[in-house]
């Protein structure tokens, strides 16, 4: 691209756009008329390059003539493509043999720094209005021959468009916040429901275990009441019975009217008739009673120690 027509649709980077005159420099607004309104299209960069402005009325005119087509500033486009050769007092962008646009730098500062840009304007018939004696041959020139241009990050907007865009972006942010809050609320509800379901399931298991625990506790208490604190030993009672039997081989069990069952109860025996001695006199812990049948009824009452009880 050797020429860059301004104010008409052109193709850049596969997109139809319009390039308009813009203004840059620390003195860009000092020469404007009161009726002119300028809109910022690109703020000051980190390297010190000044803010770039565009005429609000010219931008509105482009909107009316070519609706739906993005508008960019010329210096905005040139700086976005690093096509401005700093280092000279004047940098020219030719738009014909004797006319074009120019940047003027502050000669008292470093000419290689973008922060030294004073102003931008247009010249005709090779005369710079505020510097009639300047020789254009000394100026640096910008050429676009055989270059593939890229568009700046953001097009120009009128103040009304910027306001509406800001409101739209703010609305989008609120919708985003509301969506995130909604998702978080739904997630919290799902999580709470899942936790409640797990809680109910765990409570059922807990209650079942509690019932089993209580049943086992009752059973253990019953077993503790029935348990034998000491293994029963009937050796002493058996020893007494054995000793009696050694004296009287005809020893028999006597009838018991109380009919108690168990080895720890009273033991009753009947001796043979005519037994010449009383077994109670020979064996300690044995009670005897002589009967009319001429025999003895013997009673052995186990002590607590003999019956295995504590």
- Domains contained in the chain, number: 2
Cα dihedral 130→111→29→131 (10° resolution) = 0
- Across 212-226, average pLDDT: 87
Is 157 in the same domain as 48?
yes
- Across 35-39, average pLDDT: 76
Q: Is residue 264 part of a domain?
A: yes
Is 252 in the same domain as 114?
no
Is 17 in the same domain as 138?
yes
The residue ranking higher by pLDDT, 129 or 183, is 183
Is 112 in the same domain as 20?
yes
Contact 295/271 with Cβ under 8 angstroms?
yes
- Which pLDDT band holds residue 305 (cuts at 50, 70, 90)? low
Q: Show which of 161, 183, 204 is a domain's final residue.
A: 161
- Which pLDDT band holds residue 30 (cuts at 50, 70, 90)? low
pTM of the complete model: 0.56
- pLDDT of amino acid 140: 92
- Across 233-252, average pLDDT: 81
Q: Is residue 145 part of a domain?
A: yes
Tell me the torsion sign for CA atoms 133, 136, 142, 145. Answer: positive
Strand blocks (E) in the chain? 9-12, 15-20, 23-24, 38-42, 52-55, 70-73, 90-94, 99-105, 117-124, 140-141, 252-253, 267-270, 286-290, 296-300
Is 154 in the same domain as 239?
no
- pLDDT of amino acid 310: 47
- pLDDT of amino acid 252: 87
Q: Show which of 161, 181, 198 is a domain's final residue.
A: 161
Q: Is residue 99 part of a domain?
A: yes
Tell me the torsion sign for CA atoms 242, 277, 266, 256. Answer: positive
Contact 88/140 with Cβ under 8 angstroms?
yes
Q: Is residue 172 part of a domain?
A: no
124 pLDDT exceeds 70? yes
List the domain range (segments joined by +) for residue 89: 9-161
The residue ranking higher by pLDDT, 230 or 267, is 267
Is 147 in the same domain as 244?
no
- List phi, psi (to 5°) of 34: -65, -30
Q: Is residue 72 part of a domain?
A: yes
- pLDDT of amino acid 279: 85
- pLDDT of amino acid 1: 46
| Mean per-residue pLDDT over the chain, rounded | 84
- pLDDT of amino acid 260: 53
23 pLDDT exceeds 50? yes
Is 121 in the same domain as 13?
yes
Q: Show which of 161, 181, 210 is a domain's final residue.
A: 161
Q: Is residue 225 part of a domain?
A: no
- Across 62-71, average pLDDT: 93
- Across 193-221, average pLDDT: 90
Which residues does 81 contact at the CB level (< 8 Å), separation at least 6?
Answer: 147, 149, 150
Contact 143/85 with Cβ under 8 angstroms?
no
- pLDDT of amino acid 29: 66
What order do you get walking across the sheet with 15-20 strand by strand? 9-12, 15-20, 70-73
The lowest-confidence range among 71-85, 158-172, 210-224 is 158-172
Contact 121/129 with Cβ under 8 angstroms?
yes
Is 18 in the same domain as 150?
yes
Is 120 in the same domain as 19?
yes
129 pLDDT exceeds 80? no
């Amino acid at each position: 691209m050797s020429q860059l027509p301004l104010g008409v649709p052109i193709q850049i980077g596969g997109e139809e756009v319009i390039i308009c005159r813009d203004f840059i420099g620390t003195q860009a607004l000092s020469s404007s008329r009161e009726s002119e309104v300028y809109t910022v299209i690109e703020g000051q960069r980190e390297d010190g390059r000044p803010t770039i402005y565009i005429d609000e009325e010219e931008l509105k005119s482009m909107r009316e003539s070519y609706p739906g087509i993005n508008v960019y500033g010329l210096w905005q486009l040139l700086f976005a493509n690093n096509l401005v050769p700093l280092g000279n007092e004047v940098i020219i962008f030719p738009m014909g043999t004797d006319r074009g646009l120019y940047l003027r730098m502050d000669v008292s500062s470093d000419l290689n720094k973008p922060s030294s840009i004073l102003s931008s304007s247009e010249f005709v018939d090779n005369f710079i209005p505020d510097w009639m004696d300047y020789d254009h041959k000394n100026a640096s020139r910008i050429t676009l021959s055989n270059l593939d241009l890229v568009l700046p990050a953001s097009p120009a907007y009128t103040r009304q468009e910027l306001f509406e865009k800001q409101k739209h972006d703010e609305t989008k942010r609120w919708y985003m916040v509301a969506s995130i809050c909604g998702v978080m609320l739904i997630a919290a509800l799902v999580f709470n429901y899942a936790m409640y379901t797990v809680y109910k399931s765990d409570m059922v298991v807990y209650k079942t275990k509690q019932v089993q625990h209580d049943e086992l506790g009752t059973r253990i208490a019953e077993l503790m009441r029935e348990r034998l604190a000491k293994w029963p030993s009937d050796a002493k009672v058996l020893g007494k019975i054995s000793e009696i039997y050694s004296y009287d081989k005809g020893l028999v069990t006597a009838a018991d009217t109380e009919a108690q069952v168990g080895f720890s109860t009273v033991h009753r025996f009947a001796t043979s008739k005519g037994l010449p001695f009383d077994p109670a006199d020979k064996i300690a812990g044995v009670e005897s009673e002589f009967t009319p049948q001429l025999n003895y009824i013997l009673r052995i009452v186990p002590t607590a120690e003999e019956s295995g009880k504590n």
